Amino acid sequence: MIIKYETLYNTFKEILISRKLSEDRANILAKIFADNTLDGVLSHGVNRFPRFISYIDKGEIDIDIVPETTFIFNGMVRMDGKRGIGPINAYIAMEKACELAKIYGISIVALANTNHWMRGGTYGYLACENNLIGICFSNTTANMVAYNASEPKLGNNPLVIGIPRENKAHVVLDFAISQYSYGKVAQTNLEEKKLDVPGGYDTKGNITNDPAEIIKSGCLLPIGYWKGSGLSLVLDLMATVLTAGNSVAKIKSFGDEVGLSQIFIAIDPNKANTKDMTNKLIDDVLSDFSSAKPFEGKRVSYPGENTIKRREANKASGVEIVDSVWDEIMALKKEH
Amino acid sequence: MIIKYETLYNTFKEILISRKLSEDRANILAKIFADNTLDGVLSHGVNRFPRFISYIDKGEIDIDIVPETTFIFNGMVRMDGKRGIGPINAYIAMEKACELAKIYGISIVALANTNHWMRGGTYGYLACENNLIGICFSNTTANMVAYNASEPKLGNNPLVIGIPRENKAHVVLDFAISQYSYGKVAQTNLEEKKLDVPGGYDTKGNITNDPAEIIKSGCLLPIGYWKGSGLSLVLDLMATVLTAGNSVAKIKSFGDEVGLSQIFIAIDPNKANTKDMTNKLIDDVLSDFSSAKPFEGKRVSYPGENTIKRREANKASGVEIVDSVWDEIMALKKEH
d(CA A278, CA B242) in angstroms, rounded, equals: 9
Does the structure show a pLDDT above 80 at B336? Answer: no
Chain A residue with CA closest to B217: the answer is: A295
Closest Cβ opposite residue B284 in set A149, A197, A249: A249
Q: Provide the number of CB pairs (under 8 Å) joining chain A to chain B.
A: 267
How close is the nearest chain B Cα to the Cα of A12, in Å?
32
Closest Cβ opposite residue B267 in set A161, A242, A247: A242
Whether residues A74 and B147 touch (CB distance < 8 A) is answered with no
Whether residues B234 and A197 touch (CB distance < 8 A) is answered with no
Q: Sign of torsion, CA A233 A234 A235 A237?
A: positive
What is the mean pLDDT of each successive set of 10 residues along chain A, which is 336 residues long? Answer: 98 98 98 98 96 93 96 98 98 98 98 97 98 98 98 98 97 98 96 97 98 98 98 98 98 96 98 98 98 97 97 97 96 83
pLDDT for B334 equals: 83
d(CA B318, CA B311) in angstroms, rounded, equals: 10
Looking at chain B, the whole-number percentage of residues with pLDDT higher than 90 is 98
Compute the C-alpha angle A128/A129/A135, nearest 5°.
Answer: 30
Question: Phi and psi dihedrals of B29, rounded to 5?
Answer: -70, -40
pLDDT tens-digit series, residues A114-171: 999 999 999 999 999 999 999 999 999 999 999 999 999 999 999 999 999 999 999 9
C-alpha closest to that of A67 among A82, A77, A78: A82
pLDDT for A331 equals: 96
Closest Cβ opposite residue A278 in set B133, B225, B241: B241
For residue B298, the chain A residues in CB contact (below 8 A) are 148-149, 205
Whether residues B282 and A76 touch (CB distance < 8 A) is answered with no
pLDDT tens-digit series, residues B275-332: 999 999 999 999 999 999 999 999 999 999 999 999 999 999 999 999 999 999 999 9
Region B72-95 average pLDDT: 98
Where in A126-254 does DSSP place strands (E)? 133-138, 159-163, 171-175, 200-201, 207-208
pLDDT for A336 equals: 65
Active-site amino acid positions of B:
44
Does the structure show a pLDDT above 70 at B247? Answer: yes
pTM for this model (two decimals):
0.98
Looking at residue A193, the DSSP 8-state letter turns out to be -
Q: Write the DSSP assignment of B122-191 as a string of letters.
A: HHHHHHHHTT-EEEEEE--SS-BPPTTBSS--B----EEEEE--TTS--EEEEE-SBSS-HHHHHHHHHT
For residue B180, the chain A residues in CB contact (below 8 A) are none
Compute the C-alpha angle A295/A296/A302, nearest 5°.
Answer: 50
d(CA B277, CA B31) in angstroms, rounded, equals: 32
Looking at residue B222, the DSSP 8-state letter turns out to be B
Average pLDDT, chain B: 97
For residue B249, the chain A residues in CB contact (below 8 A) are 284-285, 288-289
Residue B266 pairs with which residues in a beta bridge? Answer: B107, B134
pLDDT tens-digit series, residues B35-63: 999 999 999 999 999 999 999 999 989 99
SS3 of residue B84 by DSSP: coil
- Decide: A136 and A120 in contact? Cβ < 8 Å: yes
Question: What are the angstrom distances between the C-alpha of A297 and each of A47, A294, A302, B209?
Answer: 32, 8, 17, 22
Whether residues A244 and B272 touch (CB distance < 8 A) is answered with yes
How close is the nearest chain B Cα to the Cα of A2, in Å?
30
Complex prediction ipTM: 0.98
Closest Cβ opposite residue B278 in set A103, A241, A285: A241
For residue A228, the chain B residues in CB contact (below 8 A) are 223-224
- Asked if A336 is an active-site residue, the reply is no
Looking at chain B, the whole-number percentage of residues with pLDDT higher than 70 is 99
